Amino acid sequence: MSHINTHSEENRLREEISEIGRAFRQLGMAPGTSGNISAKCEGGWLMTPTNASLGALDPAEISKLDWEGNLISGKPPTKESFLHRAFYETREEAGGVIHLHSTHASAVSCLAGLDANSCLPPITPYFVMRVGRLPLLPYFRPGDPGMGEAVREYAPDYSAVLLANHGPVVAGKTLEAARNAIEELEETARLFLMLQGHSINTLSEAQLDDLREQFGARW
């Protein structure tokens, strides 16, 4: 019975990854074959395959890796699997990780003069609660394992990071939580870009304290 339940849960996660991928494509958050999604499962992680369109994922072809990162089944995993593993291996509560090249967050990652401690200011309570501080990581060429090492340094203390001239990586306790957080991040990035050139009223320290007390926000 345990084996059946485990298999059923893995299949459910495969379907959820595929559904989320389709939603991101429809929202314009996953152009071409960009972006990757993963979820922790029994015996390892499920990850979207390399060069796969998130809008056309076959649940059966989603990669399954063991705890050491070896391919168990499915197609070869995303070349950026080290981004996901950095979160899973250093953030025990992480159940899902998403990396996108979403338009507005990626645009923010190209701006000069960003606060490296948090690329986006606390302009809405929802961003503070669902994402928290968003540190900026340096630029790495695509596929550079150094990117994973950089994420690993921040993952214990932050659930999301922004890769310079690239895009965001977000971890959540569940895959659904990671999805909600990265969608909130993208919307906040859109608002931030719209507000460029205007004076911004960010949340005050007292308001941030209230969110920390009421919702456990990490800011």
CATH number of the domain bearing residue 112? 3.40.225.10
Burial 5-27 (b: 16+ CB within 10 A, else e): eeeeebeebbebbbebbbebbee
Q: Count of alpha carbons within 13 Å of 126, Cβ hemisphere only?
A: 12
Is pLDDT above 50 for 59?
A: yes
pLDDT, tens digit, for every residue of 150-180? 999 999 999 999 999 999 999 999 999 999 9
pLDDT, tens digit, for every residue of 94-126? 999 999 999 999 999 999 999 999 999 999 999
Confidence of residue 4 (pLDDT cuts 50, 70, 90): very low
d(CA 63, CA 89): 18
Confidence of residue 3 (pLDDT cuts 50, 70, 90): very low
- Which pair of tokens denotes residue 197? 């050139």
- Which pair of tokens denotes residue 71? 């391919």
Share above pLDDT 90 across residues of the chain, in percent, rounded to a whole number: 95
Contact between 122 and 195 under an 8 Å Cβ cutoff? The reply is no
Active-site residue, 154 included: no
Which residue is catalytic, options 80, 183, 184, 186? 80
d(CA 74, CA 62): 5
- Which pair of tokens denotes residue 68? 């050491």
Confidence of residue 7 (pLDDT cuts 50, 70, 90): confident
Name 47's bridge partners.
38, 63
Position 6 scores a pLDDT of: 62
Taking the model in full, what pTM does it have? 0.94
Contact between 102 and 29 under an 8 Å Cβ cutoff? The reply is yes
3-state SS assignment for residue 36:
strand
Q: What are the respective helix, strand and coil percentages of the chain, to the nearest 5?
A: 40, 15, 40
Number of domains in the chain: 1
* Domain that includes residue 33, residue range: 2-215
Give me the chain's average pLDDT, please: 95
Is pLDDT above 90 for 2?
A: no
Sign, Cα dihedral of 206, 191, 137, 87: positive
d(CA 21, CA 71): 21
Which residue is catalytic, options 10, 68, 92, 126? 126
Span 45-56, average pLDDT: 97
Contact between 178 and 97 under an 8 Å Cβ cutoff? The reply is yes
Active-site residue, 80 included: yes
